Amino acid sequence: MLEHFIFKLRGSNNLPMDEKALTQFPIALPLKEVKALTNGIINTTDLITAADGQKYIFQKINTNIFKNTEGMMKNIDIVTTHIREKAAKSGRDPERATLHFLPASNNTLLYKNENGAYRVSKYIANTVSFEGKATEKSLEMAGRSFGTFIKDLSDLDASLLSETLPNFHNTPMRIAHFLETVKSNPANRLDSAREDVDYLISLIDEGSKLSKIKLPLRVTHNDTKTSNVLVDKTTLEPLAVIDLDTVMPGLLCHDFADSIRYSANYVAEDEKEYYRAGLDIDMYKAYAKGFIPAVSSIITKEEIDTLVQGVITIVYEQAIRFLDDYLAGDVYYHTQYSEHNLVRTRTQIGLLRDMLKRRNEMEAIARDPSLYK
Ligand code: A2G
């Protein structure tokens, strides 16, 4: 199983990306070593070793995507402090249960200069993250980690957190935006996506169902990819959920859904043979087996009733987000070729079609009494 835990390093050049920014954090300089980490695709990250041998993660935040960096770091501060307290009470090592960011000279967890916004966190020794295609085992462990994350934060008032990416999972707003783009056809691509547009328009009622149900607002992660779970290198035991930039008030079913959308599809999100897309029910089951027991003591009846609808909604929402961006001329997602967003749309549509056919099977798994003991 070890081949699934790859920790990619870009190599060492012994130069941090911004030395002046680094002097604002309480670390022993000069640095002994700098390694650029390349497995994240949004922020820029260095693994640095300080003069006293301590290792840290030094990051430049992508402020094009994360405009409210203060709100984001405040959310992260509240959440990591809470998880550390919870871990200490339940016998877990608080320093390995979540990220630990260092205060900068301005006493906040963020230092900004003319080049960007920076932060430093302690490197959690002897850990790796899940990379590459998930397996049933890694997906189950990821489910357990994300479920534990929600449970740890279930007594934290979600209204204390800023909505740093407003309306992120507001599906009706995403639909309205999509319909506007279809109407204005700004990149003149509508003809090449007619069938996809018609199919997704025919499912507007389905995609809007979840938004009509009143559900508890919780603190959620909102980017529940398996690569955001840190495990112990030796025991492979999951330790912490990382990449906390999208932590916001949200719905439990969204965190259940996005992992499944990402990892329980037969094909990758941008597989050109999109007609092979579909629900890998064993992978779905594996995630449910990890996630549901971890939240079983806090999940409400309404939340159980909407787990599957949440998955269907998130896949639908992602399909319209990709198609909207294709029709708009690729303004949000990075693309490598002109049909990239259309291909992504079709892998989501393939998954969605399959899920709509297998809804009863999915419901039976999500309601399996043995997961709620
Ligand atoms: O691409 C990004 O990570 C998106 N994140 C996420 O929501 C999802 O659309 C994903 C699809 O691969 C943001 O928009 C912040």
pLDDT in tens, 204-213: 999 999 999 9
Whether the CB of 270 sits within 6 Å of ligand 1: no
Q: Distance (Å, rounded) from C-alpha 98 to C-alpha 320?
A: 33
Nearest to 215 by CA among 263, 177, 260, 169: 169
Q: What pLDDT is attached to residue 44?
A: 86
DSSP 340-354: HHHHHHHHHHHHHHH
Tell which atom from ligand 1 comes closest to the C-alpha of 318. 9
Q: Are 311 and 365 in contact (CB under 8 A)?
A: no
Residue nearest atom 7 of ligand 1, based on CA coordinates: 223
Whether the CB of 269 sits within 6 Å of ligand 1: yes
Pairing assessment for the beta strands 9-12 and 218-220 based on DSSP bridges: unpaired
Q: Which residues of the chain have pLDDT under 50?
A: 1-13
Q: What pLDDT is attached to residue 6?
A: 30
Q: What pLDDT is attached to residue 28?
A: 93
Q: Distance (Å, rounded) from C-alpha 354 to C-alpha 279?
A: 6
Which residues have a Cβ under 8 Å from the Cβ of 135 and sit 6 or more positions away? 1, 4
Tell which atom from ligand 1 comes closest to the C-alpha of 333. 1
Q: Distance (Å, rounded) from C-alpha 5 to C-alpha 264?
A: 18
Q: Distance (Å, rounded) from C-alpha 284 to C-alpha 257?
A: 10
- Rounded (10°) angle between helices 340-357 and 307-328: 160
Domain architecture of the chain: domains with CATH:
2-69+99-125 (3.30.200.20), 136-229+247-372 (3.90.1200)
Tell which atom from ligand 1 comes closest to the C-alpha of 262. 12
Pairing assessment for the beta strands 116-122 and 229-232 based on DSSP bridges: unpaired
Q: Are 143 and 287 in contact (CB under 8 A)?
A: yes
Locate tokens 């230092």: which residue?
A: 111
DSSP H helical segments within 296-358, as ranges? 301-305, 307-328, 340-357
DSSP state, 164? S
Q: What pLDDT is attached to residue 39?
A: 67
Q: Is 67 exposed, middle or buried (0-12, 13-18, 19+ CB in 10 A)?
A: exposed
Q: What pLDDT is attached to residue 15?
A: 58
Q: What pLDDT is attached to residue 16?
A: 61
C-beta atoms surrounding 203 within 10 Å: 18
Report pLDDT digits (tens) over 284-337: 999 999 999 999 999 999 999 999 999 999 999 999 999 999 999 999 888 899
Residue nearest atom 8 of ligand 1, based on CA coordinates: 318
Q: What pLDDT is attached to residue 131?
A: 78
Q: What pLDDT is attached to residue 115?
A: 85
* CA of residue 222 to ligand 1 center, whole Å: 9
DSSP 130-146: --SS--HHHHHHHHHHH
- Rounded (10°) angle between helices 340-357 and 359-366: 70
